[in-house]
Structure 1
Amino acid sequence: MGRFVLIGDSLLRGIVWDDVRRRYALARTRVANALARKGHEVVADLAFMGATARDGLERLREFALRSPERLRGSWVLVHFGGNDCDFDWDAVAASPDSEHLPRRRLDAFTGDLGEIAGLARAYRAEPIFLVPPPLVAERYFAWISRGSPERADAILRWLGTVTRIHWWQERYAAAVAWVAERLEIPRVLLRGAFLLGREDFRTYVGADGIHLTESGYRLFSETVLASCAEVRGGVK
């Protein structure tokens, strides 16, 4: 059995949109629970909603200083990109003709991932990078527009096209795979699993276009477990 530390954003945490209660909640099926059910030890779940890779690096650093013996020898599951590539949509809507930068520029994002891997390995822990699944651009655009035609028009004026949301996020997913390959880090190809797992991957994605449905988290967790079982023959 393996020992795992989870470091990531709301998808690794298992955040789902609850249509009935109209708020975010924890999914019934999420990676931490799935690992535990298979008999693995979840040493720490450091994933949280809104986290960027820089946030994750700081949390992992704090955990390493506080509990080095718990980190040592663990597999560190790393999932970032969705928040790193996101923009301040209030600022975009207020000033669509201005320049706006993502929360983490792509070069900074790849640097953060490299530091996370280096920190994990310094404690003889092995990082495993999760390549983020796709989002549904049209749903996310509607979500950030908040039902306001004026706000939607302003955001679209800056975007140029709604599909830009999709390919912009895809760049960050590709960056995760690139860093993993460059640093010889095992990868979990979530993006491929979602795009190939069903004819229309959108059935796995919730109303906001980003967070997954319960079935989406089931696929997410199953893919992580299956991939980890193959990593260098190390996690059975």
Structure 2
Amino acid sequence: MDLSVCVFGDSVSKGVIFDSVLKKYTLLRDSFANRISGSFPVMIRNYSIFGCTVTKGMDLLRRHWNELSNFDYTVLEFGGNDCDFDWADISENPEREHLPKTPVGIFEQKYTELIEQVKRSGSRPVLLTLPPIDAKRYFAWISKGLNAGAILKFLGDIEHIYRWHERYNLAVCRVAKECSVPLIDISSAFLEKHNYQTLLCEDGIHPNENGHRLISGVIGDTIRNLRTATA
């Protein structure tokens, strides 16, 4: 019997990449979700949207609440936008206190609530960790047209962006453990590569086509193990 899966997340799970030739964001035809549905007997409905945070994800889930019971699994992928800042505001006021879109404590709380909602629907939640970012490329990206020196003053050092993003990745791992839900480790698959940065787009944060191929391989291994265990 084919598995049915729905996905809630941000632009990474949506399959958004930055096209360096066209100089704009586009949808990748061979995104990891599309590659999985084309390689396995899995029906995937992707509800992910560009820029989605865990708060917006909760609203999105409520909108599709009546559909969730139709899916064996609900894959959740959040954190990349939650940890983001208003860089334009930081550029103008680097010494002022600035909060991310979702402070990490609230992120964990809301993610836990989201997981519990999925469980109540009858579907089984599965979490994805976050692909790592390239701090140097991402810093160059977010500071375009802004005061890069002011942003760097706020950060302290460029690699702080990587560490901050990783805090949210660790939060995802904690939430998965505390809620006793499966976690598919995307992060390690990237970090095992000698130069994982080649798997990211020009913006330093979105996986490129090769990055999506890597993600689909990790998820594919999980599906094979699941099918073996239930055979």
TM-score (norm 1): 0.92
How far, CA to CA, are the matches of 1:72 and 1:195 in structure 2? Answer: 35
User: 3-state DSSP class of the match of 1:24?
Assistant: strand
Question: How far off is 1:102 after superposition?
Answer: 0.3
Quick one: distance in 1 between partners of 2:229 and 2:9?
22
Asked if structure 1 preserves the Cα contact closer than 8 Å seen for 2:129 and 2:185, the reply is yes
Aligned to 1:85: 83
CA contact (8 A) 1:110 1:179 kept: yes
CA distance in 1, matches of 2:226, 2:151: 42
- What does residue 106 of structure 1 align with? 104
In structure 2, do the counterparts of structure 1 residues 152 and 74 end up closer, same or farther at CA, with 3 Å as the change threshold?
same
What residue number does 1:220 align with? 215
Question: Which residue identity lines up with residue 54 of structure 2 in the other structure?
Answer: A
Aligned length: 229
Q: Is 2:184 aligned against 1:182?
A: no
Percent identity, aligned pairs only, is 33
The one-character-per-residue Cα deviations of 1:98-144 (angstroms, maximum 9, x if unpaired) are: 00000001111111211111111111110000010100000000001
Residue 229 of structure 1 and its aligned partner are, at CA, apart by: 3.4
| Residues 196-235 of structure 1, C-alpha deviations (whole Å, 9 max, x = no match) | 1x21111101110101111011101221222243348568
Alignment RMSD:
1.7
- The residue matched to 2:25 in structure 1 has which SS? strand
Which range moved further: 72-81 or 162-171?
72-81
Q: Which runs of 5+ in 2 are unaligned?
A: none
Mapped to 2, the partners of 1:17 and 1:73 lie a distance apart of: 31
Distance (Å, rounded) in 1 between the aligned partners of 2:133 and 2:61: 26
The answer to whether the 8 Å contact 2:131/2:207 transfers is no
Deviations 1:32-74 (A, max 9, x none): 21232122111x2110110001111111111014x35xx3442
**Is contact 2:5–2:71 with CA below 8 Å preserved after alignment?**
no
Stretches of structure 1 that go unaligned for 5 or more consecutive residues are: none
1:58 aligns with 2:59: yes
Map 1:64-143 to 2 at 5 A.
Answer: 64-65=65-66, 67=67, 71-143=69-141
The residue that corresponds to 1:39 in the other structure is: 41
Is 1:157 the equivalent of 2:164?
Answer: no
Equivalent in the alignment of 2:201: 206
The runs of at least 4 aligned residues of structure 1 exceeding 4 Å deviation read 231-236
Contact kept in structure 2, 1:27 and 1:217, CA below 8 Å: no
SS for the counterpart of 1:92 is helix
